[in-house]
Amino acid sequence: MIKASDIMHAGAQCVRADQTLLDAAMMMRDMGVGALPICGEDQMLKGIITDRDIVTRCIAEGKDPAMMKAMELSGHLHCVRADDSMDEVLKKMEQHQIRRIPVIDNDRLVGMISEADLAMGHRNGGRLTDQQIVDFMDSVYLKR
């Protein structure tokens, strides 16, 4: 059985809940990612923020990303456990129409799974079937 930990991108870096959106945007730029998990002082996962969140919920509303804190944009958090099956991961991503999902182990962030990870895992190791990829894409991109 393929598990979340088999396909995730390990070593995800968090933006702290008290850091600004400008900090988060610079971290995204420097790491070449479109989303960051948000962690509290206790290093526990508190949320996730995307580049789209920064643009649509801060800048487009005339707010200052240098003043707004990352935690202010954190919505409902969806995550998976490292030992969850890929069927469970895909189901959760499809159900909530999300393209990135944090992976936790013992309530600590251990990685992230993005649509790119799904595609690379499929291409490189055949970890996902063609039908799983098609179903994911249909669910996330066509049901909006």
pTM over 0.85: no
Helices (H) and strands (E) in the chain, counts: 6, 7
In the block, which residue shows the tokens 């948000």?
Answer: 38
CATH of the domain spanning 4-142: 3.10.580.10
Nearest to 52 by CA among 120, 104, 100, 7: 100
> What does the domain layout of the chain look like in residue ranges?
4-142
Query: Which pLDDT value is given to residue 2?
Result: 80
pLDDT digits (tens, 9 = 90+) for 11-33: 889 999 999 999 999 999 999 99
pLDDT digits (tens, 9 = 90+) for 79-137: 999 999 988 999 999 999 898 999 999 888 999 999 888 877 655 565 677 788 788 88
For residue 143, pLDDT beyond 70: no
Q: Which residues of 79-99 are buried (b: 16+ CB within 10 A; e: fewer)?
A: bbbbebebeebbbbbbeeebb
Structure tokens at 123: 């291409």
Q: What is the mean pLDDT of residues 58-76?
A: 94
